[in-house]
Chains A and B, each alone.
Chain A
Amino acid sequence: MQREVGTLPLAPALRARLAAAGFQTAQELLDIGPCGLSKEIGISREEALEALQVVRQECQGDAARTAGGSGATRKCTALELLEEEQTQGFIITFCSALDNILGGGVQLTKITEICGAPGVGKTQLCMQLAVDVQIPECFGGVAGEAVFIDTEGSFMVDRVVDIAAACVRHCHLIAEAQQEEDHQKALETFSLENILSHIYYFRCRDYIELLAQVYLLPEFLAEHSKVRLVVIDGIAFPFRHDFEDLSLRTRLLNGLAQQLIITANDHKAAVVLTNQMTTRIGQSQSMLVPALGESWGHAATVRLIFHWDNSQRLATLYKSPSQKECTVAYHITSHGFRDVQPPAVTHSTGGTELNPRKRPRAEEEKQ
């Protein structure tokens, strides 16, 4: 195994010394032993032992893998991946148009980014997803738990109670209509208290807390293995103000994205991020673009942009590896994220509210 010294995960100062002393492959390091190594490059014996430990681990890891073991490498054929994808569930958003353009809902093991102007509904969708991830499997959900990392302080528990109550009611109606055994059993555990107790909430006040939280997430997820959704509401907020060194910001953001995709992949969870919008002033016009710069655009696998069109809210799928670009309309009602009702439906009873954004209550009973 001819691993070059430059490709081993050692500290840069150590690597520089090894290169200056003339070591090229990992095999040479292993041959010389810790005493010889500490003499040659002038480091203490403990440091030499540590370095050789790392080298041995890497080389043994390589040998185990070439012998046919899969260990920690994520290696498989496309056929196996296809089978995995087909059995993987989606997290529905209760807005069927949005689910359709996403290909079934928010996908697990991928990072989805939601960008939009203030007030367009990003946090609403995050709260809706935190409830929807807990829907039992017999109703078409993923039966998982949710981690909510809040940096802007916009998480309102009362609103989540409303959304959760509407979701539970919806499931009860389905169970009554279909009358199956497992539906009744699942409904026993799917209650308001249960839903709220499975949303793990973290409040991060600046970017250091956010970075620490994300890097500690794998340990948390190892203990709570049922988590299937990680929401970071407001990833732009801690990074947008007070950052003098922009290259450091890019580096931190990219490291964050890398850590998130590793977490999403290893724990089969969906990661949802919300981003703000900023104005780019061109030669003749200005337009709204997602914040945090060009390189951040590549961090998310799926990108949704929410925007207004007069008084209608629209969602555009801007970037996706498997779906076409598309725009749909959605509504936010007192029950949460919902489809737009077609205007031709006129089931107006006496007590209908005249607010076009809220669905008349008669519609809800029909469901």
Chain B
Amino acid sequence: MVVLRAGLCPGLTEDMIQLLSTNGIRTVVDFVSSDLEDVAQKCSLSYKALVAVRRVLLAQFSAFPANGADLYEELKSSTAILPTGSPSLDQLLDSGLYTGEVTELVGAPGSGKTQVCLGIAASVSLGLKQHVLFLDSTGGFTASRLYQMLQAQTEDEEEQAILGRLRLCFVLQLEALQRVQVVRVFNIYELLRALQELRDRLSQQVVSSVGPLKMVLLDSVSAVIYPLLGGKQSEGLALMMQLSRELKTLAREFSLAVVVTNQVTRDSSTGPLKPALGRSWSFVPSTRVLLESKEATWEKATTQRVASLAKSPRQVRPPGSIPWECRSS
């Protein structure tokens, strides 16, 4: 709802705005949706002038329709599929993470969400040599673990580490570490500010520090939203929707892959686990992966972790889930 101001378009003068506001027309939407003959009579303005202003306002503020074929061509050229670093997880996600979409990882504490995010960062930064932005809101980002994963990945590719190659591996790992930018955001306003900064930098195409950015990881979204929900205030929901809009516009406009992690909660102490943040948030990500560790008691050591697809725009949900190993190195 944009407020009518002088100079918004030629022909919209200050007097005109005064006359319109005395009749209750303050925003563009009010103007465009009102009956112009009526307005012309009440405000004693010329009908032609009002029609001209309306035409300009519509041209300025309405969205342009596009046809499906153009959209398809555009998507084909701008969408990329990024590998997650784990072949079975790639298979689950229909060959990887699609840019232009928001993917969500859901799991109980200790189920491996941060590990998967670190693995994705390592694989994109090392394998594709693209920049990665990691927004950390829980303090769980450990650079030494990321380094471990990078080492494991370079060892896979270079089967023998001959002396000369060792140095090359080390240099590659350091470069990969430099391509991962970490921003620590501990409340919602800092997060929104960081996303806004990212949007400004990308739209101005400042190549210096950001480079070819393709991946944004947010670990975790529930840590910043949970302190706002609950109780009797409803501004938490508004901020959550604002955040979801920012994430989706970022993903769509700049063809980034956005990965978000979320918690699980229970309805009652014996109910099944379900993703946190409620029904409104469940519409935001296009793909949802549920991470579980079998034998969830802590008395026995658990090594079997299972990832299952809870929501996907492309895959039919397989009846079983794909077991997924957490690599120790």
Contacts and interface: CB of A to CB of B under 8 A. Distances in A.
Chain A bound to chain B: yes
Contact of A294 (B190, B234, B246, B264): B264
Interface string B136-161: 00111111111110000000000000
B99 interface: no
B142 A62 contact: no
A294 B108 contact: yes
Contacts of A82: 143-144, 146-147, 177
Contact of A301 (B134, B140, B269, B328): B140
A248 B139 contact: no
A280 B269 contact: yes
A2 B2 CA distance: 14
A129 to B, nearest CB: 18
Contact of A295 (B26, B110, B196, B265): B265
Contacts of A42: none
B180 interface: yes
Interface string A10-43: 0010010001011110001000000000001000
B1 A77 contact: no
Interface string B80-124: 000000000000000000000000000011100011001001000
A325 B143 contact: no
Interface residues on B, range: 35 or more
Q: Size band of the A side of the interface?
A: 35 or more
Contacts of A287: 297
Which secondary structure dominates where chain B touches chain A?
A: mixed
Contacts of B242: 4, 6-7
Interface in B1-56: 1-3, 26-27
Contacts of A28: 3
A79 B178 contact: yes
A9 B110 contact: no
Interface string A253-275: 01101100110110000000000
A222 interface: no
Contacts of B185: 74
Contact of B110 (A21, A79, A262, A303): A303
B302 interface: yes
Contacts of A61: 193
Contacts of A255: 227
A65 interface: yes
B299 interface: yes
A61 B194 CA distance: 11
Interface centre among B140, B183, B189, B265, by most A CB within 10 Å?
Answer: B140
B130 interface: no
Interface of A: 1-4, 6-9, 12, 15, 19, 21-24, 28, 40, 58, 61-62, 65-66, 73-79, 81-82, 84-86, 109-111, 245, 247-248, 250-251, 254-255, 257-258, 261-262, 264-265, 280-282, 287, 293-295, 297-301, 303, 305, 307, 316, 318-319, 321-322, 324-327
